[in-house]
Amino acid sequence: LMAFRRSFSVAARAQAATGGRLPAGVLSELQQLLGPEGLSTAAGVREHHSHDESYHPWVPPEAVAFPRSTTQVSQIAQLCSAHNVPMIPFGTGTGLEGGVAALQGGVCVNMRQMDKVLRCNPTDFDCTVQPGVTRQMLNAQLQHSGLWFPVDPGADASVCGMAATSASGTNAVRYGTMRENVINLEVVLADGTVLNTAGSGRAPKTSAGLNLTNLFVGSEGTLGFITNATLRLHAQPAAVAAAVCSFPSIEAAAETATEVIQCALPVARIELLDGPMMQAIRSHSGLDYPAQPTLFFEFHGGSDNALNEQSALAQDLASEHGGSSFAFSTHPETRHKMWRARHNAWYAALGLRKGCRGFATDVCVPISALAPMISYAQEQIKDLGLVAPIVGHVGDGNFHCIVVIDPSQASELAAAKTLGQRLGERALALEGTCTGEHGIGEGKRQLLLKEFGEEGLRVMRAIKQALDPQGLMNPGKVM
């Protein structure tokens, strides 16, 4: 009965959003173009494509297309453009800002069947992938090449989806975000035009013309479909180690992280987890670390001696702030178990309240403002009476409060939104940003206005109007 009610509610929302079905003839033309396996209007398929991992309401598309080539994506865009049909790109559905909900109905375009690594150039440290390739798929294929793609947002997201949201994650402190690791993109615009954002090249750097590549990195599907990406690869580290250290307070952990960066210690990852998050991880993943504020470290180097030097300095800095139980390991299984637990922090937090959903904040501030920003977040969580463990990529000033709420309870959702608004505004006051890596999506549009001002939004709208004059690409998101 609950499943029926949810399905009925999803369908009702779709009808309310779109006011009806696709224009006559569009479905038949899509079926003719894509074949019987390339298009679905089944309720279950549409529902699967109605949401991501966020709290935002599920709003399904009216149809889901599964193209197998850039040519088919272009033809879908031409057809939808001709009939004024909204288009929503879909990767793996692991986003956290409601970026795939079909707010105005239309056609969701899932490019999972375009899943080839088109080429790999080990000598040049680059590769080109289709949009169905996930980061784990890519690294599995690169495993024996001595190279890897280090951007790691936690989820096994599609690499082109990661480009669309300008994802980063745990390794960004050393290897950069998607913005630094995308060389070129092939993009299908709303009218079906196919564009290569850096021309036909894959040079490691360029100063030719406007930076169209970074215009589309972070555009969240509002400017076009990313149909392949040329990526910067990195050498696999010769030696890897991990360490974990507990602290008497979250401020002490944050201050340690700040000093690690200020001392130019070349950590590959440095992650902060507060006491409630460590308790959730203990329950979810079976780790036996203390339920106290904690830092997870990873060190990459050319030798074991280099790792020992890095870890010794990190331990000294931690000790100055009351850090204890500093545990260092080069054993692969120990490292993998620790990072699996960190990557599952979202689901560990949801386990604190069964049947609830997550509301994620995503502020990022200059590293000098990190400790006071986290202290402010803790104060607001307590003031609002929320369950919201904290975790973050603190090496670059980015952290998340995972607010565990029952979205059906209006008071809880309102409190979570209040927390998000307060943290966003405080981050902006500290010269930071309202979103370090999740994107704007549905939920942060007002904060985007505060961050850029009306002048900045006017320029963004002008770009949107130039590339998508009908407003068909992922409408209702970002602006």
Q: What is the 3-state secondary structure (H, E, C) of 261-317?
A: HHCCCCEEEEEEECHHHHHHHHHHHCCCCCCCCEEEEEEEECCHHHHHHHHHHHHHH
Alpha helices in 49-114 (DSSP H): 70-83
- The pLDDT of residue 24 is 77
Q: Of the given ranges (178-187, 282-291, 374-383), which has the lowest mean pLDDT?
A: 282-291
The C-alpha angle 327, 330, 331, rounded to 5 degrees, equals 100
Residue 436 pLDDT class (50, 70, 90 cuts): very high
pLDDT the model gives residue 21: 65
**pLDDT over 90 (residue 38):** yes
User: In the predicted model, is pLDDT for residue 271 greater than 70?
Assistant: yes
Asked whether the beta carbons of 221 and 89 are under 8 A apart, the reply is yes
Averaged over 374-394, what is the pLDDT?
96
Give mean pLDDT, residues 264-286: 95
Identify the pLDDT of residue 179. Answer: 97
Mean pLDDT for the chain? Answer: 93
DSSP-derived 3-state class of residue 219: coil
Render pLDDT for 306-318 as a digit per residue (tens, 0 to 9): 999 999 999 999 9
Instruction: Please calculate the CA angle 169-174-176 and round it to the nearest 5 degrees.
Output: 60
In 310-319, which positions are buried (b, 16+ CB within 10 angstroms) versus exposed (e)?
bbebbbebbe
What is the mean pLDDT of the segment spanning 208-227? 97
Mean pLDDT score, 342-352: 94
Say what the pTM is.
0.91
Tell which residue, 272, 236, 268, has the closest CA to residue 252: 272
Q: Is the per-residue pLDDT at 13 higher than 50?
A: no
What pLDDT does residue 2 have?
Answer: 40
Confidence label for 14 from pLDDT (cuts 50, 70 and 90): very low
∠448-457-111 over CA atoms, to 5°?
A: 75
Please state, in angstroms and rounded to a whole number, the distance separating the CA atoms of residues 92 and 475: 19
pLDDT reported for residue 208: 95
Say yes or no to pLDDT of 4 above 60.
no
Q: CA-CA distance, 15 to 61, in Å (whole number)?
A: 10
Mean pLDDT score, 344-367: 94
165: its two tokens: 């949201």
Question: What is the Cα–Cα distance from 244 to 324, expressed in whole angstroms?
Answer: 9
Report pLDDT for 15: 43
Instruction: Return d(Cα 346, Cα 401) in angstroms, integer.
Output: 10
What are the Cα distances from residue 137, in Å, to 100, 116, 345?
22, 10, 22
- 66-123, pLDDT tens digit by residue? 999 999 999 999 999 999 999 999 999 999 999 999 999 999 999 999 999 999 999 9
Does 66 or 16 have the greater pLDDT score? 66
Pairwise pLDDT comparison (209 vs 15), residue with the higher score? 209
Q: What is the pLDDT of residue 211?
A: 97
How confident is the model over 183-210, as a mean pLDDT?
Answer: 96
d(CA 72, CA 92): 19
Average pLDDT over residues 136-165: 95
Given a cut of 50, whether residue 170 has pLDDT beyond it is yes
Structure tokens that stand for 126 in this block: 């680059």
CA–CA separation, 105 vs 249, rounded Å?
Answer: 47
Minimum mean pLDDT range among 7-11, 141-145, 217-221, 400-404:
7-11
Res 432: pLDDT:
98
Percent of the chain with pLDDT over 90: 92
pLDDT band at 23 (very low <50, low <70, confident <90, very high): confident
Closest CA to 142 of 52, 235, 34, 23: 235
More confident residue, 180 or 286: 180
Instruction: Tell me how long the chain is.
Output: 479
Q: Is the pLDDT of residue 1 over 50?
A: no
Reference 395, options 207, 239, 265; nearest CA is 265
Q: Which of the 8 DSSP states describes residue 169?
A: -
**Bridge partner residues of 126 (DSSP):** 121, 232
Q: What is the mean pLDDT of residues 335-355?
A: 94
Give the Cα separation of 463 and 446 in Å (integer). 19
Model pLDDT, residue 33: 96
pLDDT of residue 6: 43
Instruction: Find the mean pLDDT for residues 441-453.
Output: 95
More confident residue, 286 or 470: 470
